[in-house]
């Protein structure tokens, strides 16, 4: 298989990082629940914030009326007059928050995204696209950021627009962090203990690690099969990552892992023994309590019976004396 070599050029500086605030995620989810919940539609909106060329800070957003034909992705409608009026009103509220791009609820890129991105160039010269997965099934952040660049193929064909994936993260100011903590505290299941929560978090982390390893495996396999060109930066990062892994063939390292594992197993074993002893102790105490209660009931019944017998004898003696 022949792989065509391509090069990416851009007339502007390609951003290095996109930071999305929790308020934006909350607004996108609310927009989706109000407009497209339980449907196959997606929602589209405008991103507001700051863009200094290298770093993009997405601090706010607002929804935009949007419709598209499910059968023909090239047919779509976006109310740009509404975008202009909303942008003017937001400038009056906070002049620091400028239009920096747009979002949609994805969960993946669509064929019409490049056309919509060209429309947003009328409002901002270098719009960034953030795809927000409102119903994520995988562990990780629910955002993917993209930036449109010109791709030139070395076979002489003309340049074409394509999306370049950008590094994205979730960032918040101090006030937003406090609000997020309060929200998490309200939705926390109090029936789940701290141990279960910690184990659940570890399981989620392992699932995320498994996903990343599978992505690396698929990429390396595609490079070996010549389905993808070699990206030396990615290969160097993979080498650096594997260089940080411990060498388990060294006797001292294997012994250290064994000692650590044995210590953990000992703690688990002792915890199981203590739990069993406590359960037996509670069982014996419960049996003693039930036995004492039964003896008390028997004694009370016998005392009542004796009292009735005494009353019966007294009544009989009184009757005989009267006769």
CA atoms of 113 and 148, how far apart (whole Å): 10
pLDDT band at residue 1, thresholds of 50, 70 and 90? very low
CA atoms of 146 and 104, how far apart (whole Å): 12
**What's the pLDDT at 248?**
74
DSSP string of 9-41?
A: E-SSPPPSEEEE-HHHHHHHHHHHHHHTTTSS-
- Domain segments of the chain as ranges: 6-188, 190-245, 249-323
Closest by Cα among 108, 107, 105, 104 to 116: 104
Q: Mean pLDDT in the chain? A: 86
Residue with more model confidence, 211 or 103: 103
35-55 pLDDT, tens digit each: 998 888 999 999 999 998 889
CA atoms of 161 and 26, how far apart (whole Å): 31
Averaged pLDDT, 266-273 = 94
Residue with tokens 């993209």: 146
**What's the pLDDT at 4?**
46
Residue with more model confidence, 289 or 204: 289
Lowest mean pLDDT among 220-224, 231-235, 262-266: 231-235
pLDDT cut 90: percent of the chain above it: 46
**What's the pLDDT at 140?**
76
Domain range 6-188, CATH architecture: 3-Layer(aba) Sandwich (3.40)
Which distant-in-sequence residues (6+ apart) come within 8 Å of 208 by Cβ?
A: 138, 139, 140
Residues 113-122 as b/e (b if ≥16 CB within 10 A, e otherwise) read bbebbeebee
pLDDT at 154 over 70: no
CA atoms of 68 and 91, how far apart (whole Å): 29
pLDDT at 289 over 60: yes
Closest by Cα among 133, 210, 117 to 170: 133
**What's the pLDDT at 133?**
92
Question: C-alpha 115: how far from its chain's center?
Answer: 30
CA atoms of 124 and 48, how far apart (whole Å): 11
Flag whether the pTM goes above 0.75.
no
Averaged pLDDT, 211-224 = 91
Residue with more model confidence, 113 or 5: 113
Averaged pLDDT, 262-268 = 93
CA atoms of 49 and 124, how far apart (whole Å): 12
**What's the pLDDT at 179?**
83
pLDDT at 130 over 90: yes
């Amino acid at each position: 298989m022949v792989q065509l070599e391509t090069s990416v050029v851009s007339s502007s500086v390609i951003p290095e990082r996109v930071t999305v605030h929790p308020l934006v995620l909350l607004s996108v989810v609310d927009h989706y629940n109000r407009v497209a919940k339980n449907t196959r539609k997606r929602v589209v909106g405008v991103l507001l914030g700051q863009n200094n060329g290298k770093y993009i800070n997405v601090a706010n957003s607002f929804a935009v009326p949007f419709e598209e034909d499910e059968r023909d992705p090239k047919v779509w409608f976006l109310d740009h007059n509404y975008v202009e009026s909303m942008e003017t009103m937001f400038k009056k509220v906070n002049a620091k928050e400028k239009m920096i791009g747009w979002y949609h609820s994805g969960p993946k890129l669509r064929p019409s995204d490049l056309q919509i991105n060209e429309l947003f160039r009328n409002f901002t010269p270098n719009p960034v696209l953030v795809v927000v997965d409102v119903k994520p099934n995988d562990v990780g952040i629910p955002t993917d950021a993209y930036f449109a660049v010109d791709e030139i193929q070395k076979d002489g064909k003309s340049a074409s627009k394509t999306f370049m994936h950008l590094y994205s993260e979730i960032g918040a100011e101090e006030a937003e962090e406090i609000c997020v903590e309060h929200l998490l505290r309200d939705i926390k299941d109090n029936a789940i203990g701290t141990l279960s929560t910690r184990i659940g978090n570890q399981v989620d982390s392992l699932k995320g690690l498994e996903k990343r390893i599978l992505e690396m495996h698929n990429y390396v396999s595609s490079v070996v099969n010549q389905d993808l060109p070699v990206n030396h930066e990615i290969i160097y990062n993979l080498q650096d990552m594997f260089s940080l892994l411990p060498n388990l063939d060294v006797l001292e390292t294997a012994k250290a892992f064994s000692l650590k594992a044995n210590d953990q197993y000992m703690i688990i074993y002792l915890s199981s023994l203590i739990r069993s002893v406590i359960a037996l102790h509670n069982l014996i105490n419960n049996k003693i309590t039930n036995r004492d209660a039964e003896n008390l009931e028997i004694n009370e019944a016998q005392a009542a019976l004796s009292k009735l017998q005494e009353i019966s004898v007294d009544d009989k003696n009184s009757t005989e004396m009267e006769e």
